[in-house]
Amino acid sequence: RVRRALLMAIDKAAIIRDVYGNTGQAAKNPIPPTIWSYNDAVKDYPYDPEKAKALLKEAGVTTPLDIDLWYMPVQRPYNPNPKRIGEMMQADLSKIGINAKLVTYEWGEYRKRLQQGEAMTGQLGWTGDNGDPDNFFFLLGCNAARDGGQNIARFCDKTYEEKLQKARQSTDKEERAQLYEQMQTIAHDQAVWFTIAHSVVYEIAKANLTGYKISPLGRHEFAGADLK
């Protein structure tokens, strides 16, 4: 209930409008809609501060409540202005009685401390490596929920983990897709992450460039490219 309250207290649409503009689309799942097995049936949590207050009360949380909110010290492809997003989250959370102290460190130190589990709440993102859903879903797996691991939420759910491992062992794409769809529902119901946005990448090119395609893996690949 507390995690859901935090999610419903933050105005995601305002963040996307004011920070991302036309470079991001609202996220509701751990994977972007461009990856197979995306579960579009999942309904995102609405922005509802009053419901958020009610959830905190149901959970027995007394406000005002002090928390730390870590924001990244650097711009990333998936987050164009981490500090501004942190400030907007801070302002929204204050409306439900949560006082969020903004915290950051040098990038290397930030990541190390985040992976050691020091943060109460923190920003991070992911750029896919290979186009396979597992490359995203393992980030919520039990094996990664450890000091130095990449599961910074320290989420470890038995049902989720069983489906993750079963999908890894299967060579049936349809079976894997069904498992991943179910895992997205679990991640949503458990309110594991506040998913903000999937970035939309733009690249500037001369008018006489032909055959160049933007890589979904964040690389610059010039095979097939030519100049007229």
User: What gap in Å lies between CA 57 and CA 2, rounded to an integer?
Assistant: 9
* Better pLDDT: 11 or 23: 11
Residue 98, pLDDT above cutoff 80? yes
Closest by CA position to 72, among listed 87, 61, 83, 62 = 83
- pLDDT digits 0-9 by tens, 173-223: 999 999 999 999 999 999 999 999 999 878 888 999 999 987 776 778 888
CATH of the domain at 74: 3.10.105.10
The pLDDT score that the predictor gives to residue 203 is 83
Structural domain that includes position 158? 2-227
Q: Strands (DSSP E) along 11-159, which ranges?
A: 24-26, 65-70, 98-103, 121-122
The pLDDT score that the predictor gives to residue 1 is 96
User: What gap in Å lies between CA 143 and CA 160, rounded to an integer?
Assistant: 12
What value does the CA radius of gyration of the chain take, rounded to a whole number of Å?
Answer: 19
Q: State how many domains the chain has.
A: 1
**b vs e for 156-173, b when ≥16 Cβ sit within 10 Å of the residue's Cβ?**
ebeebbebbeebeeeeee
- pTM comes to 0.89
